[in-house]
Structure 1
Amino acid sequence: MAARKVLIYLAEPHIGELERILARHCRRFWREAVPGGLEKYSCIVQQRYTERLLNNLDASFGADPEFHAHVEMLDAVLPPVTEDAASELPLDTDLKPPTALERFFSRDRLSTDEIYEDIDESLHITPSYLLMVTLSALIAGLGMRSGQTAVVIGAMIIAPLLGPTMGLALAATVGNGQLGLRAAGTLAIGCVFAVLAGVALGLLVQIDPLVPELRNRTIVQPSDVALALACGAAGVLAFTRGASLSLVGVMIAVALVPPLAAIGIYLGAGYTLAASGALFLFAVNLVCVNVAGIAMFLIQGLPPKNWRMTGGILTVWAVILILLTSMMVGRIFLGFGSWDRVLANLSG
């Protein structure tokens, strides 16, 4: 079973309370004195209990300037940390017992603090981030232009929009407005650079607008909605279990990067109607990824600060999705989103 090593540094007067906390959350821990009058505790904690331990520590000692805690991943533990129904550590009496669904999905999930840490690093707008977004869009655009699916997948593996996308869903789930604003800003700037990279391709490189890899990004079908929902759910599920960023990047980028590149390419080549179709596909994908991402975070038991706020945000995203889906159905019914209409526009 996955485990973490939690290192805790605390002054002597608080040791009694700390050991009572550790007894509720840890299987094993060791104590040693360190310079500066502090005590160091090395604790082996099952991954599923890491979050509640950190929450308990923060509530008890967060105001103490001498308190520090660090979490490290463990590849192996001997003797192994095992658990069954009889040996399961009890919850605090003031905590609501998890549902069977939460228990199942949260068993190997990273703690909220670890998820925050992973996402925070990708929310900084740096030259390397902007360069990665631009290169990803260029690779995706060139792959779509030449009809090479493998090249498009190569652009997805770069995964520059992974962090902001996950950050947006996480912020809505836990009700963190500051995180949401940072994620939205980083994502918006990344999208602008991706579109501009596509525009440059459309202006400088000869484009065949009927290439299937490009043309498919101008039409929204019910299957595209299902794909984006699956991408959001699978991306969050993999991300919260510490999967490779490249793996998660493919799940997310399949719904975001290619449409952005297609928008720019069609704009640069002068096909504004086709560009609007790609923009519509991107909007549908972004909303679907957030709806599915928030739902999966909640299923895995991430604790919202305010259920009313989180429920309200999820409802807003769901309403937008319903409106976009209605527009998609209307476009298909009226012929604006049909293959014949798109082909006629691109051929003209």
Structure 2
Amino acid sequence: MNNLFDRIKSTLTGYFSLSGYLVTQQEAEAAIREGVSFRGTNIVILIIAIFIASLGLNTNSTAVIIGAMLISPLMGPIIGIGLGVGIEDYELLKRSVRNLVMAAGFSVIASTLYFLVSPVSEGHSELLARTSPTIYDVLIGFFGGAAGIIAIGSRSKGNVIPGVAIATALMPPLCTVGYGIATWQPTYFLGALYLFLINSVYIALSTFIGVKLMKYQKKAQSDEQRAGRIRRLVYTVAVLAMIPSLWLTYRMLQQSRFEINATRFVNEQFHFPSTTVLSESAVNQNGQRSINVTLIGKILPADSLQAAMEKVMPLYSLYDVKLNIIQGDTRPMTADADMSSSTLRDIYQLSQADLARKQHMIDSLRSIISSARAIDTVSGMVMPEVSVVFPQVSDLAVTRAVFARSGSDRLDTVNIALVKFSRPLPAKNRDELCRYLEARLGLRGVKIVETGSAIDFSSTRNHPIQKR
């Protein structure tokens, strides 16, 4: 048994061991130190990347934002902070912090200037996504930094560094900070600044841990007492940076649960024969939760509908939630009934779908009528031919009928040829007549029914025979 565990341990160690895959500490340090500096091309590229990211946020273009992340050199100083703490090189640490602050300052100034002159001031979803960081952003920053330091120390870097730049998304939060300053919206400013802080702290923390795990040598003549204070400071900052994200995560989960319950409530309870739910939204504004439901179709009794729905809301864990029901031209009981652009768009889409459904029904009815008219005239078209090929046929009527059998609910549509013979027709010729009618009229399964002399076709509605 021990041998088995030893073999498993040896196999796993072989898979996860980094020895032989890493460059020397000197090579890795040189690469990191080069990325720390923000002079010349680095600062110019940073400003260009900021303008690109601002354009992407302003136009709500994810592709443009990703491009700006790939261009940005912001990762350099943050990795430098982690390395400086890890090898106790405090000159590198101070230079990295100074350059990071300078780079962030330039970025915020550039984005603020852009949004001050931009004619588009509306906050799109890409901007809003950077204002409510959660514990998930903490984890993204930590694991992104871990991948970054391993890639820098690895012989084969591949696409890891660009991937880390995209995953940790350092540029968009700084641009959103500039947007918040330019439009004077503290929510955007504070939320995005906190997201940038989270990313920076946890990328640096994971870099520090990675340096320790890769056993990089400390700088000569390091002060162990000072190193201990700085390590405690790093851990304290990391914990303090995480605490608000836990509260924001809790709020996000509460809102998500509220939206799920609201959607389930509307889907299960708002079913009416002549009334349809046009739109529904779950809103949580300043702690006041409400559900807005817009109905179209037959107007329902407002008071009884409101009372009935509020009675079942607790079954969906919807406590202390206002229900606003909008019907046609009626106004909600506690909110403004002016339709938003999204509501108008929903109405338009619903109208288009209704028109398409009605058009499909019209086309189907036209097809049925056309088929009925065709069946109605085929007898006159083929009778001259039938009388030549089968002289025994004196009268012919072709129709389509619904066939029902006693004791069965099944209905079948059949093609019937009512034939009056002047003299008996042999069975072989009857089969030939059946096949002829099927081929000539393009019908499947024609049934020949012989009529007696008592049936007078001349008493029915006359159709002129179309000569060919």
TM-score (norm 2): 0.47
1:229 has 2:146 as partner: no
Match of 2:263 in 1: none
Any idea what SS the aligned residue of 1:105 has? Answer: coil
Structure number with higher relative contact order (C-alpha < 8 Å, ≥ 6 residues apart): 1
Any idea what SS the aligned residue of 2:58 has? Answer: helix
Query: 1: CA distance between counterparts of 2:96 and 2:284?
Result: 38
Query: 2: CA distance between counterparts of 1:334 and 1:247?
Result: 33
Query: 1: CA distance between counterparts of 2:64 and 2:146?
Result: 24
Instruction: Indicate which of 235, 244, 266 corresponds to 1:327.
Output: 244
Counterparts in 2 of 1:302 and 1:209: CA distance versus 1, 3 Å: farther
Give the counterpart letter for 1:220 in structure 2: P
TM-aligned CA deviation for residue 169 of structure 1: 0.9
Q: What are the equivalent positions in structure 2 for 1:44-59 lying under 5 Å apart?
A: none
Give the counterpart letter for 1:275 in structure 2: F
Query: 1: CA distance between counterparts of 2:197 and 2:114?
Result: 22
1:182 has 2:125 as partner: no
Match of 2:170 in 1: 256
Query: 1: CA distance between counterparts of 2:206 and 2:84?
Result: 14
TM-aligned CA deviation for residue 341 of structure 1: 5.4
Counterparts in 2 of 1:325 and 1:296: CA distance versus 1, 3 Å: same
Give the counterpart letter for 2:43 in structure 1: L
Query: 2: CA distance between counterparts of 1:214 and 1:242?
Result: 37
Match of 2:440 in 1: none
Query: 2: CA distance between counterparts of 1:214 and 1:155?
Result: 15
Query: 2: CA distance between counterparts of 1:288 and 1:219?
Result: 17
Query: Does the aligned pair in 2 maintain the 1:140–1:152 contact within 8 Å?
Result: yes
Query: Does the aligned pair in 1 maintain the 2:31–2:152 contact within 8 Å?
Result: no
Q: What are the equivalent positions in structure 2 for 1:31-50 lying under 5 Å apart?
A: none
Q: What are the equivalent positions in structure 2 for 1:105-144 lying under 5 Å apart?
A: 105-144=18-57
Instruction: Indicate which of 109, 112, 116 corresponds to 1:203.
Output: 116
Counterparts in 2 of 1:245 and 1:182: CA distance versus 1, 3 Å: farther
Instruction: Indicate which of 74, 77, 85 corresponds to 1:164.
Output: 77
Match of 1:285 in 2: 199
Residues 176-228 of structure 1, C-alpha deviations (whole Å, 9 max, x = no match)? 01111111111111111111111012101134544111101000112111111
Match of 1:318 in 2: 235
Query: 2: CA distance between counterparts of 1:243 and 1:258?
Result: 28
Query: 1: CA distance between counterparts of 2:159 and 2:73?
Result: 10
Query: 2: CA distance between counterparts of 1:147 and 1:340?
Result: 24
Runs of 4+, deviation exceeding 4 Å: 242-247, 305-312, 331-335, 337-342
Give the counterpart letter for 1:215 in structure 2: L
- Aligned CA RMSD, in angstroms, stands at 3.0
Residues 223-257 of structure 1, C-alpha deviations (whole Å, 9 max, x = no match)? 11111111111111111115559741441463321
Query: 1: CA distance between counterparts of 2:45 and 2:30?
Result: 20
Query: 2: CA distance between counterparts of 1:250 and 1:190?
Result: 21
Query: Does the aligned pair in 2 maintain the 1:255–1:286 contact within 8 Å?
Result: no
Counterparts in 2 of 1:277 and 1:243: CA distance versus 1, 3 Å: farther
TM-aligned CA deviation for residue 124 of structure 1: 3.1
Give the counterpart letter for 2:240 in structure 1: L
Gaps of 5+ in 2: 1-12, 256-282, 289-468
Any idea what SS the aligned residue of 1:232 has? Answer: helix
TM-score (norm 1): 0.62
Counterparts in 2 of 1:195 and 1:243: CA distance versus 1, 3 Å: farther
Counterparts in 2 of 1:186 and 1:246: CA distance versus 1, 3 Å: farther
TM-aligned CA deviation for residue 173 of structure 1: 0.6
Does 141-150 or 225-234 show the bigger shift? Answer: 141-150
Counterparts in 2 of 1:106 and 1:303: CA distance versus 1, 3 Å: farther
Gaps of 5+ in 1: 1-99
Q: What are the equivalent positions in structure 2 for 1:3-18 lying under 5 Å apart?
A: none
Any idea what SS the aligned residue of 2:216 has? Answer: coil
1:297 has 2:211 as partner: yes
How many corresponding residue pairs?
243
Query: 2: CA distance between counterparts of 1:213 and 1:243?
Result: 33
Any idea what SS the aligned residue of 1:241 has? Answer: coil
Counterparts in 2 of 1:297 and 1:255: CA distance versus 1, 3 Å: farther
Query: 1: CA distance between counterparts of 2:206 and 2:231?
Result: 10
Query: 2: CA distance between counterparts of 1:315 and 1:270?
Result: 36
Query: Does the aligned pair in 1 maintain the 2:57–2:65 contact within 8 Å?
Result: yes
TM-aligned CA deviation for residue 278 of structure 1: 0.5
